[in-house]
Amino acid sequence: DMAIGVYYRPPNQAEKIDVLFASQLTNICRKRTTIVIGDFNYPDINWKTNSAPSEKSNKFLTNLADNFVVEKVEGETRETAILDLILTNREEVIEGVETAGTLGESDHVILEFNITQTQATEHNDTRVLDFK
């Protein structure tokens, strides 16, 4: 079971909306494999160290850690920041993340990646008898 969502967080989003997002992420991560893709506008986060100077960004990082969510984008997505994120609570389902130019006049890069999930196969023990 997998949930895939897209999210845009304006740069000056109200804290109550951040809290609602955190709550929704927690609820969905408890139930299924989760992937959330979008522009989160946390330019001060250092993703190599999972740290940030601002309280808002640190609350976001804490929520991700509490839900075992990882961020999969390694290169800048807008100027020198990683604003566009691919978040998942199952790291192995996201592979081959690459940046690929821009779309139109956007100042953000395009993200390309693969979602891999093996589907359980049912074993059928039905036998066919040959009466020849």
Give the pLDDT confidence of 95-118 residue by residue, as tens digits.
999 888 877 888 788 888 999 977
The predicted pLDDT at position 117 comes to 79
Residues 75-89, mean pLDDT to the nearest whole number: 86
Dist CA 57 CA 48 (whole Å): 14
Dist CA 111 CA 124 (whole Å): 40
The tens digit of pLDDT for each residue in 54-79 reads 999 999 999 999 999 999 998 778 87
Q: Give the sheet arrangement for strand 70-71, strand by strand.
A: 2-8, 33-39, 84-88, 70-71
CATH architecture of 2-115: 4-Layer Sandwich (3.60)
Give me the residue spans of the domains in the chain: 2-115
pTM for the whole thing? 0.84
Residue tagged 């800048």 (tokens) = 76
Dist CA 87 CA 12 (whole Å): 21
Please check whether residue 84 is in contact with residue 76, taking contact to mean a CB–CB distance below 8 angstroms: no
Does residue 22 surpass a pLDDT of 70? yes
